[in-house]
C-alpha cells in the first residue's frame, strides 16, 4: 500500500484543482484576491501582493460576470453629461422702451400688397376654430393677441395656432384698462400671460397689445423687459359692437392698403359676425392682390 500513497496524493490534488477551477468559473471564490468580505475570511490575513490578472474569466468583486472593469469605466465615461463644456447661449437682446406702439408694418418688411390680420381677446372655442379654418383654407397666417384667462383654459388652441404658422401675442390676463392698474398689478397681468403661452407652446410672445389701445409708460417698460414689441392697428373693424357682417366686411375692404394692420376679435362676446365676415372679406382681399403677412421684429 505504500507504493499507492503517491498516486492517492496526486489524485486528491487533481480533484482539488478541478473543484477550484469550477468554483472560480461559477464566481464562488475570488481568484483575484481583492473581492473578499468579512464573512468569507478575506480579512483574516494580509492581502496578497498584486500579481498578474487571473485570466479573461469573470471578476465577481468588480461587477457583473463577463464585464471587465476597464470596459465599465470607459462606458460610464461616454455616458457622462458634457453640459459643463457646452458654450453658454447668448441672451436675447431686449427691445428698446418705446413711447408709442407700432401702428403699421415697417416699410422694410411690407410690400405694396402686404397686410396683416390680427385677432384679439381669445382663444374662444366657440369662434376661434372657425376663424382658423378660414385662414387655413386660404393659406393665410395671422396674429392672435390672447388673454391669459382664455389661453390657460384653451391651450390646445394655442398649440393649433402655432402648428398652423400663426403668431401669438400678449393681450394681458383679464383685458383691463391699463392706466388704472398699479405697476405690480400690470406686471402680473402681462407676465402671467406670457408664462402660460410659453408653457403651452414652448415660446413666450414677442408682441404685446394693450387692451382698448390704452398704453402708458409702464406698459411699454414692462413689455420691453419681457422681450416684447408693442403692436397696435390701423384699421379697426369695430366687430366687437356687432354692427352686422356686411358692415364689418365693408370696413375691412375700404381700409385695405399697403402695410395696414386690421383689428378683429375672436372672443369677448358673440363673435359669429366676425366669423362670417372673414370668410367674406379674406377671399376678396386676396382677389385684389393683397398678401396677408406676419410682422417682423425691428432690429435690436
User: Cell numbers of 221, please?
Assistant: 417698460
Catalytic residue among 120, 121, 239, 266: 120
Mean pLDDT for 195-222 is 98
Whether the pTM exceeds 0.75: the reply is no
Torsion of CA 228, 230, 231, 237, to 10 degrees: 120
**Which residues, 6 or more positions from 95, have their beta carbon under 8 angstroms from its beta carbon?**
224, 227, 228, 229, 297, 298, 300
Residue 39 has what pLDDT? Answer: 38
The answer to whether 4 is a known catalytic residue is no
Q: Which of 108-112, 171-175, 210-214, 272-276 has the lowest mean pLDDT?
A: 108-112
- pLDDT of residue 124 exceeding 70: yes
C-alpha cell of residue 209: 397689445
pLDDT for the residue numbered 300: 75
The phi and psi torsions of 207 (rounded to 5 degrees) equal -130, 145
Residue bearing cell 503517491: 6
Q: What are the start-end ranges of the H helices in the chain?
A: 5-25, 69-78, 128-137, 148-151, 155-163, 183-201, 217-225, 245-255, 272-287
Known catalytic membership, residue 120? yes
pLDDT at 111: 63
- The pLDDT confidence band at residue 105, using thresholds 50, 70 and 90, is confident
Confidence of residue 197 (pLDDT cuts 50, 70, 90): very high
C-alpha to C-alpha distance for 251 and 287, rounded to whole angstroms: 17
Interval 31-66: pLDDT, tens: 444 444 333 333 344 444 444 443 333 333 334 444
Give SS3 for 252.
helix
263 bridge partner residues: 118, 236
Residue carrying C-alpha cell 383691463:
176
Cβ within 8 Å of residue 32, ≥6 positions away:
53, 54, 59, 61, 62
**What would the grid cell of residue 1 be?**
500500500
Alpha-carbon span 277 to 262, nearest angstrom: 13
Share of the chain above pLDDT 90, in %: 63
11 pLDDT tier (thresholds 50, 70, 90): low
Q: Considering the candidates 166, 171, 265, 266, report the single residue annotated as catalytic.
A: 265
According to DSSP H, which parts of 113-241 are helical? 128-137, 148-151, 155-163, 183-201, 217-225
Residues 6+ apart with CB under 8 A from 262: 115, 116, 117, 118, 233, 234, 235, 237, 252, 255
The pLDDT mean for the chain works out to: 80
Q: Which of 59-68, 93-102, 150-159, 182-191 has the lowest mean pLDDT?
A: 59-68
Amino acid at each position: 500500500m505504500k507504493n499507492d500513497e503517491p498516486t492517492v496524493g496526486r489524485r486528491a490534488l487533481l480533484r482539488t484543482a478541478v473543484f477550484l477551477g469550477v468554483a472560480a468559473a461559477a464566481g464562488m471564490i475570488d481568484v483575484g484576491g481583492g473581492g473578499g468580505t468579512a464573512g468569507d475570511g478575506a480579512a483574516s490575513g494580509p492581502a496578497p501582493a498584486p500579481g498578474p490578472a487571473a485570466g479573461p474569466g469573470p471578476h465577481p468583486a468588480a461587477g457583473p460576470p463577463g464585464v471587465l472593469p476597464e470596459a465599465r469605466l470607459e462606458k460610464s465615461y461616454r455616458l457622462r453629461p458634457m453640459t459643463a463644456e457646452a458654450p453658454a447661449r447668448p441672451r436675447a437682446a431686449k427691445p428698446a422702451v418705446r413711447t408709442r406702439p407700432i401702428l403699421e408694418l415697417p416699410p422694410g418688411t411690407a410690400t405694396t400688397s402686404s397686410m396683416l390680420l390680427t385677432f384679439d381677446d381669445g382663444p374662444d372655442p366657440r369662434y376661434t376654430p372657425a376663424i382658423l379654418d378660414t385662414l387655413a383654407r386660404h393659406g393665410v397666417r395671422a396674429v392672435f393677441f390672447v388673454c391669459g384667462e382664455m389661453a390657460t383654459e384653451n391651450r390646445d388652441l394655442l398649440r393649433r395656432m402655432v402648428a398652423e404658422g400663426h403668431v401669438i401675442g400678449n393681450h394681458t390676463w383679464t383685458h383691463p384698462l391699463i392706466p388704472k392698474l398699479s405697476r405690480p398689478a400690470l406686471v402680473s397681468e402681462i407676465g402671467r400671460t406670457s408664462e402660460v403661452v410659453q408653457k403651452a407652446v414652448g415660446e413666450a410672445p414677442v408682441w404685446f397689445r394693450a387692451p382698448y389701445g390704452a398704453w402708458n409708460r409702464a406698459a411699454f417698460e414692462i413689455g420691453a423687459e419681457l422681450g416684447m414689441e408693442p403692436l397696435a392697428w390701423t384699421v379697426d373693424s369695430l366687430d366687437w359692437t356687432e354692427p352686422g357682417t356686411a358692415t364689418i366686411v365693408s370696413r375691412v375692404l375700404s381700409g385695405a392698403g399697403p402695410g395696414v394692420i386690421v383689428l378683429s376679435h375672436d372672443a369677448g362676446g358673440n363673435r359669429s359676425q366676425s366669423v362670417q365676415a372673414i370668410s367674406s372679406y379674406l377671399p376678396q382681399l386676396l382677389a385684389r392682390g393683397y398678401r396677408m403677412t406676419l410682422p417682423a421684429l425691428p432690429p435690436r
